[in-house]
């Protein structure tokens, strides 16, 4: 028997750059989670489900699990778990898919659903399209009472994740690390670093979906307490996660927050050799390409979003993938951004090669400007931006947003995939030129909004 069921008021594109995400009770609700579960069950006999600490998480997990089990799929419930723990557990439990109930770095009033393949890669475009088609049609396949799926807990996922990280790194000595968990689900980093022999001090380690310690996104502004703590102690470095620990950012032993582009260059140089490529999004600094050029490697540019970086990271010649926002993908280990693994890899590098400040200080930094403009109609604004840019510049790339290569500089205007915002980025090799290009790009967006 097939039935048609109502879905959330979200219409059109359900998936952004990082799954389905939005304001709870508006864009994301129990009805949507129920329907996603029903839609996913058409392709899956067993699904791993986990959530971050958000207060809306249990409600959405219950609804998602109801949809899955109603349509015959078994649910392996991890409870509160980091997103990389969920993604890795799909293969560990021989499941067909995984779902992280999380809004990642978004504020506490948001939540969402991110779907994972057994490889650890997020659902790609065709897989997302199939889910969206079922959601739009509202046509699902509920089972009879004796064919329903079962929901059962698995308590060993976090321990399995710690073991996997331990197998991937070999940390010399006992480096001292301050870990700012951000009131999220990233406690697995603490376990993994302790298991590696590190001395660990924690900040905001109590999971709390209100994020009272600091905003969830691990930016320089939000990590002031971490930077001050590291600087005031004898810690070797600091680590910060977002709410679901798919992101990882770092602070040097001197208390300096490491910009994402610089951290990306450090990881890329450590992973790539001559002939290799590193997958990076279109908003990545030129310093990454310059750093790789010194060892005979190169970048391959993708759309913004770890799902797109992961799609390129499956290629044999791609040694690493990363985003300046803090998502790091080590293809030999997993195709999901694994913040705890990245933390352990960074600590391993510092223990072997010296202070983080010295390692990142080796990279030349170029002035890069970034700003965000809140808009009501992203698509209309971007259409206007594209028209204005294409009529004024020659080298225009529309892979993701609108990117203009000016030779000695570049700028990018793109819509956020998860929020009602337009992001503007510009970079050059000197300050004055960066300011000039950035103001030109921002004025194009302002004119388009008006």
Residues known to be catalytic: 104
In whole angstroms, give the CA distance from residue 415 to residue 423.
Answer: 6
In whole angstroms, give the CA distance from residue 307 to residue 239.
Answer: 23
All residues at 6 or more sequence positions from 274 whose CB lies less than 8 Å from its CB, including other chains? 295, 296, 297
Residues belonging to the chain? 450
E strand residue ranges, 298-430 = 298-302, 318-323, 327-329, 368-374, 396-397, 402-405, 409-415, 421-428
* Nearest alpha carbon to residue 83 among 311, 340, 305, 346: 340
Listed in sequence order, the DSSP H helices in 234-332 are 260-271, 286-293, 306-313
Residue 188's H or E segment, with its range, is helix 187-195
Listed in sequence order, the DSSP H helices in 138-218 are 157-168, 187-195
């Amino acid at each position: 028997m097939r039935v048609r069921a109502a879905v959330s008021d979200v219409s059109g594109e359900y998936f952004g750059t990082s799954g389905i995400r939005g304001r709870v009770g508006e864009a994301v609700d129990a009805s949507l989670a129920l329907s996603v579960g029903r839609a996913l069950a058409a392709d899956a006999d067993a699904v791993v489900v986990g959530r971050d600490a958000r207060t809306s998480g249990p409600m959405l997990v219950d609804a998602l699990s109801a949809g899955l089990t109603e349509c015959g799929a078994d649910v392996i419930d991890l409870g509160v778990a980091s997103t990389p723990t969920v993604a890795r557990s799909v293969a560990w439990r021989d499941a067909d898919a995984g779902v992280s109930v999380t809004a990642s770095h978004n504020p506490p009033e948001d939540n969402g659903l991110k779907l994972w393949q057994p490889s650890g890669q997020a659902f790609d475009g065709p897989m997302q399209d199939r889910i969206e088609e079922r959601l739009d049609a509202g046509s699902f396949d509920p089972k009879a009472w004796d064919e329903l799926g079962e929901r059962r807990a698995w308590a060993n996922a976090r321990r399995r994740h710690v073991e996997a990280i331990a197998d991937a790194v070999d940390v010399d000595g006992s480096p001292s690390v301050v870990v700012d968990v951000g009131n999220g689900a990233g406690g697995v980093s603490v376990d993994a670093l302790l298991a590696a022999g590190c001395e660990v001090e924690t900040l905001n380690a109590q999971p709390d979906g209100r994020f009272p310690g600091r905003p969830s996104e691990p930016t320089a502004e939000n990590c002031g307490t971490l930077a001050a703590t590291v600087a005031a102690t004898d810690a070797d470095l600091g680590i910060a996660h977002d709410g679901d620990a798919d992101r990882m950012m770092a602070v040097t032993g001197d208390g300096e927050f490491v910009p994402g582009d610089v951290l990306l260059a450090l990881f890329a140089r450590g992973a790539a050799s001559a002939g290799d490529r590193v997958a990076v999004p279109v908003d990545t600094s030129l310093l990454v390409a310059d750093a790789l050029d010194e060892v005979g490697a190169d970048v391959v540019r993708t759309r913004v979003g770890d799902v797109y970086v992961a799609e390129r990271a499956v290629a044999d010649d791609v040694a690493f993938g990363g985003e300046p926002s803090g998502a790091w993908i080590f293809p030999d280990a997993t195709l999901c951004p694994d913040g705890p693994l990245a933390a352990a890899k960074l600590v391993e590098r510092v223990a072997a090669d010296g202070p983080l400040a010295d390692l990142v200080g080796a990279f030349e930094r170029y002035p890069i400007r970034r700003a965000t403009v809140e808009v009501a109609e992203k698509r209309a604004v971007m259409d206007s931006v594209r028209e204005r840019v294409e009529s004024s510049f020659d080298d225009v790339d529309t892979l993701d947003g609108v990117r203009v290569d000016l030779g000695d500089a570049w700028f990018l205007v793109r819509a956020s995939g998860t929020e009602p915002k337009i992001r503007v980025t510009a970079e050059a090799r000197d300050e004055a030129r960066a300011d000039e290009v950035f103001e030109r790009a921002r004025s194009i967006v302002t004119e388009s909004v008006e």
